[in-house]
Structure 1
Amino acid sequence: MNEKELKKQLKKAADYPASKADGVDEEFSRELADQDDLEAQARANAADERQKKQNQS
């Protein structure tokens, strides 16, 4: 993932509403998140998107 994609995913992660949880009982607070947390969430979101695209094929 290049820097531009990472920044896009970080923004997406920061804007992700808590109401769209996927059923995983895990608390996430953007206020308490550090850079590593945001990057991890961005990677997870990117992986989810890749999986969705693969499943549509």
Structure 2
Amino acid sequence: MGRDEHRNPRGRNRLAQTPKNLKSDGIDVEFSEAVADEEDKQAQERANRADMRVKNQDH
């Protein structure tokens, strides 16, 4: 919460919380094994290992 948020008399925040340049366009990108190169496969494996580490920490 910024300092200037207290100055609005009605208590409404007129500015968006997320800047427009950081908002997602809502488009999902599919991963295709057929067009994946070695770097894509390595990145996917790293992501899977990271997911497993997070799941193991919860228990």
TM-score (norm 2): 0.52
Gaps of 5+ in 2: 1-27
Larger Rg: 2
Residue of structure 1 in register with 2:46 after alignment: 43
Residue of structure 2 in register with 1:55 after alignment: 58
What amino acid sits opposite 2:41 in the alignment? L
Q: Percent identity?
A: 53
Gaps of 5+ in 1: 1-24
Aligned pairs, number: 32
Structure that is richer in helix per residue: 1
Q: CA RMSD in A?
A: 0.8
TM-score (norm 1): 0.53
Q: Which runs of 4+ in 1 moved over 6 A?
A: none
